[in-house]
Chains A and B, each alone.
Chain A
């Protein structure tokens, strides 16, 4: 709207974007950058505090000793680390075969009504709150066995893992090129041999990625373990006894009134995140699916 230049001439020379529109453009795009920074701040703060408050308490004892009673210095979380590993491994042993089988079923069933139904249920199960899963397993396994146990905790984690791995397995099996499958059939293979011998090996790395991502997620879960694995201050190996887990100890120590326990909670969190990230990074970098990256 500069008075010295006629409006018509400005339009012809192409200077049509008003100052206001330019300003809105600048302000709004800057705001998206601000939003990004705001999202990253908690992440940086969390990692800063984990290192600052937790790293100091990590030493050899942490990985080899049992938790010390209140007031006594030292002690470690060896039983909780082993407990978390056993819970996750056993949950995997229970859940992965079922989930991979269901995933292959979904891939073969495709868009049929039954396939759609099972897929829908799998997605709905993915949304069940983990605390509800814990209560279900309590009402089922713990009541039945009459005690908290490693087995109950693993089943709770397996119930969470199954729908996740089912869906990723299905996606990975679907990505296998049709030609590969048809090649098997053309060679006179039966359907099951085509699937087990050709399709699954081709989708192997993708399925493994999905499994690792799911294992990483259940390794950090606390809520399903509260009423199933329950926790245990001592070493325990038996299936039918309560077992300790890192997330359970972090919770217990975090809400306790003792400074020493708070320090240990930070240290345990650092170790837990290290475990979770190690599994996730393994899934992300080492394993590459040839059919995924187009």
Chain B
């Protein structure tokens, strides 16, 4: 705490307008300032560059771009709705799978597992985060998708396909479901790491008070630790959502890449990141390219809003902890 107030004073001395310190330090401060400002400048440059490249599509289609389902480059019809749908649905489904598992894992590690077991498991989940996206995709194509298709999708579709629209239709394997599952595996390490951190931050006294009142271990976790850590867990989940929204290679390789809006989880889908990966190098004509740029702009906007939300929540928890 003391360090941070001191930091504010340091900056004042860094700025050349305040003529404190000697010339060398002023130059040093100026150089640091240039380094520091390079990030906002780069950020602004990214926004402007992608924004100006999308101009053509924005002028041609207006708001219709995000409400139209037609994606036909040959006829020069460009509507982004199927991709927005695919990105949002696959990411939310991934969260639905990943959050309970991550929280369960975090509770197991913080409340239950002995040290000799918790260490290796935590290390293993870190390994999960180190696997490159394209390797997840490779494994998805040859191992996960066939397994999901024949063990999960086909029996479910045969049994419930006629009555439940989410489970209807032929089991393609390469589908929304496969995309969501691979995303969930990829974001679990992030959500569980944040959850563990906030569970560890729950004061010992709170736990002990709860146990002393006669709560079981689970009641203590459920009624005391989890509510205390909840804002942080939500922040972690939103952070995971941000990753899932922008994830490209793995989901492109398993989601099937068909620009349709289907109710069934077994039908192929398409995401914004996937259409960029697949079609960007083949885009012929200025309008096609500009439409893809606008998709990049939308994806950029959505992930940034989600990340700001997550940061705000995590920042609030950090502030609470400081008091």
Contact = CB atoms under 8 A, between A and B. Distances in A.
A101 B32 contact: yes
A236 interface: no
Contact of A190 (B25, B45, B143): B25
B50 A125 contact: no
A31 B218 CA distance: 11
A46 B217 CA distance: 34
B323 to A, nearest CB: 16
A32 B107 contact: yes
B303 interface: yes
A25 to B, nearest CB: 4
B277 interface: yes
A233 interface: no
Contacts of A3: none
A17 interface: yes
A112 B36 contact: no
A110 B49 contact: no
Given A39-B125, A131-B296, A191-B13, A254 B36 contact: no
Contact of A129 (B34, B100, B216, B273): B273
Contact of B43 (A31, A49, A125, A191): A125
A280 B3 contact: no
B276 interface: yes
A225 to B, nearest CB: 10
B104 A34 contact: yes
Contacts of A75: none
A121 B43 contact: yes
A29 B217 contact: yes
Given A45-B139, A110-B7, A247 B25 contact: no
Contacts of A107: 7
A223 interface: yes
Nearest to A106: B36
B46 A128 contact: yes
Contact of A121 (B39, B103, B214, B249): B39
Interface stretch (A55-63, A85-93, A270-278, A286-294): A270-278
B135 interface: yes
Contact of A127 (B10, B139, B185, B303): B303
Categorize the interface residue count of chain A.
35 or more
Contacts of B137: 251, 254
B7 A118 contact: no
A187 B251 CA distance: 57
A258 interface: no
Nearest to B140: A254
B132 A220 contact: yes
Contact of A108 (B14, B105, B281, B307): B14
A115 B121 CA distance: 37
Contact of B39 (A36, A102, A216, A219): A102
A110 B125 contact: no
A43 B7 CA distance: 43
Interface of chain B, helix or strand or loop or mixed? helix
Interface string B1-38: 01111111011111000000110110111011111111
B294 to A, nearest CB: 11
A121 B246 contact: no
Interface in A126-163: 126-133, 135-136, 138-140, 159, 162-163
Interface in A73-122: 98, 101-102, 104-112, 114-115, 117-118, 120-122
B92 to A, nearest CB: 17
Categorize the interface residue count of chain B.
35 or more
B253 A254 contact: yes
A46 to B, nearest CB: 5
Contacts of B40: 117-118, 121
Contacts of A202: none
A130 B248 contact: yes
B135 A46 contact: yes
Contact of A131 (B22, B222, B276, B304): B276
Nearest to A218: B132
Contact of B36 (A102, A129, A136): A102
B142 interface: yes
A221 interface: yes
Contacts of B136: 46
B131 A46 contact: yes
A2 interface: no
Contacts of A217: 130
Contact of A120 (B100, B247, B311): B311
A140 B253 CA distance: 27
A222 B303 contact: no
Given A129-B248, A220-B133, A49 B311 contact: no
B246 A112 contact: no
Interface of B: 2-8, 10-14, 21-22, 24-25, 27-29, 31-40, 42-43, 45-46, 49-50, 53, 100-105, 107-109, 111-113, 121, 124-125, 127-128, 130-139, 141-144, 185, 188, 192, 214, 216-219, 222, 242-243, 245-249, 253, 273, 276-277, 280-281, 292-293, 296, 299-300, 303-304, 306-308, 311
Closest 7 CB pairs of A and B: A110-B7, A129-B246, A35-B104, A220-B132, A101-B35, A105-B36, A127-B307
